[in-house]
Structure 1
Amino acid sequence: VAVAARIVGIVGVSSQPTSGITLVTLLGVASVFAAAGWVDESARAAVLTVGTIVAVAASKAGDISQDLKTGYLVGATPARQQFGQLIGASFACWAVAGTVMLLGTVYTFGSREIPAPQATLMKTIIEGVLAGALPWGLVLSGVGLSITALLCGVSALAFAIGVYLPLATMAAIYLGGCVRALSDQRARPQEKGNEEQPKKDSANPGILAASGLVAGEGLAGVALAGLVAAQVVPRTMAPRLPGLLGEVAVLVLLLSVCVFLYRASRSG
């Protein structure tokens, strides 16, 4: 819980290490079960149940840390926010379950649209540890790399998240970080001793615009799945701009988004 809240506060909710924390939990619990001789099907279900509990706890930790920061920016009362969290969670659990069922029905988990690599890795860890066939050399190599990064002055947690997350995800985060760094570098120097400055920086229009893009992407994906389920649009379709022309169009669109975020950040 503490690790999830910390990494969300440092990087953002897009890098929340829920799956990584869950994998570590599965590895530890499965090792205990294997040492105790519990290796049947019920033991696998028990390990997965423990991992599910940890995953939910880590997800809520990151979500609550974001909500409390947002409440600080708008001047909300933490106690009332907690009450709102209880109300929201009672409805969100049904919404999440419905969304997962919708995506699984439309695209099928494990397909090209939803490859679900974390689920496959979790299955491999549980079966590998309980069957005594897990490649511990690779696991220990990862531990060694994290220790080396820590000794070099690099945050081991941030380093591990960067290695673990897919390149497609990290590339977008890195590009967004470059835009933010460029905006901060060109920002006009602020007067020292201004206590309101941290709040103004956190409420930067560029951050608000980027948050809208993140939320919009998620909503658009669910809406598209709903349209596919209703057979309004096909599940797959040929690209309108194939080949090099399509790649150039995507690059231009990406640069346009970067310019938009940069200008939005500068407007604050």
Structure 2
Amino acid sequence: MHNQTKEGFPLFGFRMGDNISKLPAKEKLLNEVFVKDNIPPWLAGSAYVGLAAISAAIVPMMFPQLKWYLVLSAYVIAPLLAFCNSYGTGLTNWNLASTYGKIGLFIFASWVGHHGGVIAGLAACGVMMSIVSTAGDLMQDFKTGYLTLSSPRSMFVSQLIGTALGCVIAPLTFWLYWIAFDIGNPNGMFKAPYASIYREMSIMGVEGFSVLPQHCLAICFVFFFAAIAINFLRDVTPKSMSKFIPLPMAMAIPFYIGAYFAIDMFVGTIILFVWERANHKESEDFAGAVASGLICGDGIWSVPSAILSIMRIDPPMCMYIKPS
């Protein structure tokens, strides 16, 4: 087993290192099953190039504002963003493909400019989100396969089949909704609020930063470079100190989905901290199951919360931010 696992991850060319022999037997078994399959890098690369060529030919027919060279440019940029999204998904289990799609939206909307930039930005956003989201989903599949002793090649083939089916089912589903309901009507059942938000962002990409609130861009730059500095500090400091430095990726999630998530995670962290010191073995065995139950409970609470909201019942204490 030691000799086999020491060869490294053949999947897409990743390697594990020489510390495998120091791992527990269970983790050695997980690694052994995970590395037994091999997906040739040339197959992944040639398939990606083929999909890029097909998209460059077909997407401009659907959206003339997005020229073929813009589609190829999106396919050149997307792997870098896909890697970042896969890393973030593996780290936090949160797929932020929409965030990376917004990056493409701003880039291509400003690139095309006033002559079709809004449509080009939205179309490029869809192309990049499809690529980046698939990479994040594949990371989740590999994590599941690793923990369940499943074949990574089987997980990859299943993802491939699902993606191919989605290319047919998703347009048909959209067409069904489009002809059956009044999509986008502010007073209708399907208001599609994100459509307006993405359209406004595309307009902002065309018009420039002049439409942003005051100091918004400066704040973005400050937090961008602060995140890079914190990550660099985690890499250069000893492990005994770096474990106390927070992860910018994890810190960013509450800003993205709301502060309530930070409160949930803080309470969960305190519970796990106390549990580890009271009974380390028990917490190591059951922390994942308890956390899953709490997450499910948080989701189940949305049903009575909606009922209380419909009945106009206010909580005894409510905190919110409003203009002064």
After TM superposition, the score normalised by the length of structure 1 is 0.60
Preserved CA contact (<8 Å) 1:2 1:61: yes
| Relative contact order, higher structure (CA 8 A, sep 6+) | 1
CA–CA separation in structure 2 for the residues paired with 1:238 and 1:210? 21
Structure 1 residue 206 corresponds to structure 2 residue 290: yes
Root mean square deviation of aligned Cα: 4.4
Which amino acid in 2 is paired with 1:40?
Answer: H
Deviation for aligned residue 1:127: 1.5
User: Counterpart of 1:67 in structure 2: which amino acid?
Assistant: D
Give the direction of change, closer, same or farther, for the CA distance of 1:48–1:106 in structure 2 (3 Å limit): closer
What does residue 217 of structure 2 align with?
139
Equivalent residue letter for 2:254: G
Q: Which residue of 1 aligns with 2:254?
A: 162
Structure with the greater alpha carbon radius of gyration? 2
Correspondence 1:113-152 to 2 at 5 A: 118-132=194-208, 134-135=210-211, 137-151=215-229
**Partner in structure 1 of residue 98 of structure 2:** 19
Please tell me whether residue 75 in structure 1 is matched to residue 152 in structure 2.
Answer: no
Please give the per-residue CA displacement for 1:233-260, whole angstroms capped at 9, x wherever unaligned. xxx999564324xx36xxxxxxxxxxxx
> Once the 2 structures are TM-superposed, how far is the Cα of residue 90 of structure 1 from its aligned partner?
3.0
Does the C-alpha gap of structure 1 residues 182 and 28 become closer, same or farther in structure 2, counting only changes over 3 Å? same
What residue in structure 2 maps to residue 54 of structure 1? 128
5+ unaligned residues in a row in structure 1: which ranges?
192-196, 221-235, 249-268
- Percent of counterpart pairs with the same letter? 16
Aligned mates of 1:82, 1:74 — CA distance in 2: 15
CA displacement at 1:77 relative to structure 2: 0.7
Which of 40, 50, 54 matches 2:115?
Answer: 40
CA distance in 1: counterparts of 2:112 and 2:249, whole angstroms: 27
TM-score scaled to structure 2, two decimals?
0.51
Q: 1:207 to 1:238 in 2, by over 3 A?
A: closer
Structure 2: tracts of 5 or more residues without a match = 1-81, 234-245, 317-324
Letter in 1 for 2:121: V
Number of aligned residues = 215
CA contact (8 A) 2:121 2:202 kept: yes
For residues 97 and 121 of structure 1, what CA distance do their matches in structure 2 show? Answer: 24
Partners of 2:184 and 2:192 within 8 A in 1: no
Deviation string for 1:147-189 (max 9, x for gaps)? 23544565444444432x242xx41464145225413530422
